[in-house]
Amino acid sequence: MNQPVTVSRDADVAVITLDNPPVNALSFHLRAPLMTALETLRDDDTVKAMVLTCAGRTFVAGADITEFGKPMQRPDLRDLIATLEKIEKPTVAAIHGTALGGGLELALGCHFRVAVKEARLGLPEVKLGLLPGAGGTVRLPYILGPRKALKVIVSGTPIGAGEALQGGLVDALHDGELVANAVAFARAKVAEGGPFKAVRDRRERIEEADLAAFDADAAELAKKARGLEAPVACAQSVRNAITLPFDEALAKERDFFVHLVSGEQSRAQRHLFFAEREAAKVAGVGKDVKPREIRRAGIIGAGTMGGGIAMSFVNGGIPVTLLEMSKEALDRGLATIEKNYAISVSRGSLAEDAKTKRMAMFTGTTDYADLADCDIIIEAVFEDMDVKKDVFGKLDKIAKAGAILASNTSYLDVDQIAAITARPQDVVGLHFFSPANVMKLLEIVRGKKTAPDVLATALAVAKRIAKVPVVVGVCHGFVGNRMLAARSADSEDLLLEGASPAEVDKSFTDFGWPMGPFQMADLAGLDIGWRNRKSLGKTAAIADPLCEQGRFGQKTGKGYYLYENGRTPKNDPEVEKLIEEKARERGIERREISAEEITERSLYPMINEGARILEEGIAARASDIDIVWVNGYGFPVGKGGPMFWAEAHGLKKIVERLDHWHTRTGKAVFEPAPLLRRLAASGGSFAELREAAA
Ligand code: CAA
């Protein structure tokens, strides 16, 4: 192992290099020698200035997250920053890669920061259910001003070095030779002469702060927090930076941190951080498996789904050939894409010339032969096995050797689709979620014959186009939609037995979901499910008569709810009447249904199905299921995903209540999965399962 801290000298400037792969996290084994180095160099009169830099791919990416929840060994990061800040000779952080969280806080302990142009700086703690706990919510407002700092802290999204320079967070940018330039910068500062002001003494931006405007921003933000504690604590802490003396604000920030780090939400969000990284590790796809090169993608279908997928590729820098059946459909698809980009331009999130560049990356066609030079081809056509087989038959004839052939199916058997081709090893499912240019989740469906390098390519492409990938096995509906079906299996009975759509939906939004199942159904359109049911000879007690009345949801202004002005749902007495009538026809006596019962009859079956998915090996780990649900279906991040939540909630209780509802309704979705029953009985956890398999 390399030395985590080394000190070298460039004449009278000392260079401290941190080296703690992979991301230079501030683990104890780095903090201790760093403290020694700082104290030694501080007291060494031959040292006139100090540069703090990092080896490897990045500047410090934060505290070591694995140390959270354990007793913190001293020196902690605050000790280091306090020591650094008191040094009277000029101190310069030299930043490349990402300076994140504790990394940026450490850099804020220096008098100056210089960076390469590609560097990014941010405080992503909010994404871990935390606030920056080593002065970030106080020092950043001192530099950027409180309103700008609040934005950076609460979004958790890093800013580029250019923006950091403009805001004064970075003092100089360099093209390369970072350390040499940082040394020259430090030497120039020595020549200018001190005293050098620590960030804590630079109060100008605080004194000119507009507290009323800040409070308005913070109030706006609190509305969007949807039950998450961290963003609210961040805002309160930044406010303290304005209203309190520096050290008091710092002490209060610490209190917030201590409270949040031991809370359920942060534990859940830290679980998701590691779960996302775990999901990218796939059995049989080791580091030795090299992904295929992807220079151009072909997308079949320019409808909502195909268009969204095409935009994702172009946004990730991969040119797209977009195929439609007719010139009219193609033009319509391209016009929608252009309109979507125009909306981004009008919101200020995309520059006009970037929009022009992106539009130039689309090539439209109605001829399959034009897909011959694509390295990956994804079909997003009608969800019907015969239609899919027809498309794959055509692709097999025209696609170049080694091209990846992918289906965006949300339910169908990828092995059957692959079998129509002479190259099943090149076939994979890539299940995007609508709107595909926005939603993060990508279910990568591994067929029986899918080659390891095809999976490696799918994972690499997902990263390029900013998706969160999870590899799943073949089954009806894969992980997400299969569990969604279990979640809604009892919904109509809840209505018939006495709940209103609004009561069911409210229990979901109170739990933290962005919307409930009936609002969601109205948004997606009730006609799709109706058509499916008819083709399968199935019926639904409430949804069918709604559709027969032309109530397809938001698009017709009526569904489970009434939409008198656009998207706001309103209770509709006619729906209530319909539900009562259908209950009467079935001899059901309606009663009051509690929020707890709604949870038991919707979330528990979904978790039960998750356990079956694990038993069957459709998902490799419970945490993969969590990633699917948080990124594809709006499961509240502060609860860590359904399987994480289930464990915290108590598997024993879940099994007991599933048994209860199974006895009462006889429905298979309530019959506890053997795995769930076993873990509940033994007091075991899903994580142990994974360890046993490893
Ligand atoms: N602590 C511990 N491990 C970390 C880590 C951290 N802060 N950041 C990354 N890692 C680990 C990852 O788990 C991963 O491990 P495996 O290879 O074993 O899976 C490895 O480092 C590489 O990470 P990525 O796969 O994410 O690499 P990447 O190149 O795609 O991204 C990155 C690099 C942008 C730095 C990204 O890792 C990242 O965003 N890291 C987290 C940054 C963060 O949240 N920092 C704040 C920490 S909290 C804090 O600092 C609190 C405070 O105020 C004191």
Average pLDDT of every residue of the chain: 95
Strands 120-122 and 159-160: what pairing? antiparallel
Provide Rg for the chain, Cα atoms: 28
> pLDDT for 232-273, tens place per residue?
999 999 999 999 999 999 999 999 999 999 999 999 999 999
- Angstrom CA distances, 514 to 224, 328, 342, 632, stand at 11, 36, 26, 12
Closest listed residue to residue 247, CA positions, set 213, 202, 200: 200
| Separation of CA 275 and ligand 1 centre (Å) | 12
- Angstrom CA distances, 72 to 301, 370, 453, 638, 690, stand at 54, 60, 42, 24, 28
Q: How far apart (Å, rounded) are the C-alpha atoms in residues 356 and 342?
A: 10
> pLDDT for 442-492, tens place per residue?
999 999 999 999 999 999 999 999 999 999 999 989 999 999 999 999 999
The answer to whether the beta carbons of residues 646 and 685 sit under 8 Å apart is no
Choice among 105, 229, 600, 671 that is catalytic: 105
CB atoms under 10 Å from CB of 693, counted, come to 10
Would residue 616 show up in a list of annotated catalytic residues for this protein?
A: no
Would residue 497 show up in a list of annotated catalytic residues for this protein?
A: no
- Cα 4–chain centre separation: 31
Sequence-separated (6 or more) residues with CB below 8 Å from residue 153: 123, 125, 126, 131, 132, 136, 137, 140, 234, 238
- Angstrom CA distances, 30 to 25, 96, 134, stand at 8, 19, 16
In one-letter notation, the amino acid at residue 299 is: I
Residue range 158-168: mean pLDDT, rounded: 97
Strand partners, 100: 122
What is the residue with the minimal CA distance to atom 39 of ligand 1? 61
The answer, yes or no, to whether residue 694 has pLDDT greater than 80, is no
What DSSP assignment string belongs to 535-580?
HHT---TTHHHHHHTT--BGGGTBSSSB-SSTT--B--HHHHHHHH
The answer, yes or no, to whether residue 116 has pLDDT greater than 60, is yes
The verdict on the CB of residue 98 being under 6 Å from ligand 1 is yes
| Separation of CA 61 and ligand 1 centre (Å) | 6
Q: Which atom of ligand 1 is nearest to the CA of 66?
A: 2
Share of the chain above pLDDT 90, in %: 92
**What is the torsion angle, in degrees rounded to the nearest 10, for the CA atoms of residue 149, residue 151, residue 152 and residue 153?**
80
> pLDDT for 3-50, tens place per residue?
999 999 999 999 999 999 999 999 999 999 999 999 999 999 999 999
Choice among 125, 253, 503, 647 that is catalytic: 125
| Separation of CA 311 and ligand 1 centre (Å) | 28
Q: For residue 222, what pLDDT is reported? A: 85
Q: For residue 223, what pLDDT is reported? A: 85
The answer, yes or no, to whether residue 113 has pLDDT greater than 70, is yes
Q: How far apart (Å, rounded) are the C-alpha atoms in residues 641 and 630?
A: 6
Q: For residue 1, what pLDDT is reported? A: 63
> pLDDT for 84-108, tens place per residue?
999 999 999 999 999 999 999 999 9
Positive or negative: CA dihedral 343, 344, 350, 356: negative
Q: For residue 45, what pLDDT is reported? A: 97
The verdict on the CB of residue 608 being under 6 Å from ligand 1 is no
Sequence-separated (6 or more) residues with CB below 8 Å from residue 664: none
- Angstrom CA distances, 184 to 94, 102, 141, 172, stand at 11, 26, 28, 11
What DSSP assignment string belongs to 30-48?
HHHHHHHHHHHHHH-TT--
Q: For residue 83, what pLDDT is reported? A: 97
518 band by pLDDT with thresholds 50, 70 and 90? very high
| Separation of CA 258 and ligand 1 centre (Å) | 20
| Separation of CA 273 and ligand 1 centre (Å) | 8
> pLDDT for 523-559, tens place per residue?
989 998 898 888 889 999 999 999 999 999 999 999 9
Sequence-separated (6 or more) residues with CB below 8 Å from residue 16: 5, 6, 7, 34, 37, 38, 41, 50, 51, 52, 53
The answer to whether the beta carbons of residues 79 and 44 sit under 8 Å apart is no
The verdict on the CB of residue 460 being under 6 Å from ligand 1 is no
What is the residue with the minimal CA distance to atom 35 of ligand 1? 61
320 band by pLDDT with thresholds 50, 70 and 90? very high
| Confidence (pTM) | 0.94
Q: For residue 127, what pLDDT is reported? A: 96
Q: Which atom of ligand 1 is nearest to the CA of 132?
A: 53
The verdict on the CB of residue 133 being under 6 Å from ligand 1 is yes
Q: For residue 490, what pLDDT is reported? A: 95
The verdict on the CB of residue 157 being under 6 Å from ligand 1 is no
The answer to whether the beta carbons of residues 572 and 562 sit under 8 Å apart is yes
Q: For residue 532, what pLDDT is reported? A: 81
Q: For residue 536, what pLDDT is reported? A: 84
| Separation of CA 396 and ligand 1 centre (Å) | 41
Q: Residue 666, exposed/middle/buried by CB under 10 A (0-12, 13-18, 19+)?
A: exposed
Closest listed residue to residue 294, CA positions, set 216, 353, 373: 373
The answer, yes or no, to whether residue 690 has pLDDT greater than 80, is no
Q: How far apart (Å, rounded) are the C-alpha atoms in residues 522 and 25?
A: 46
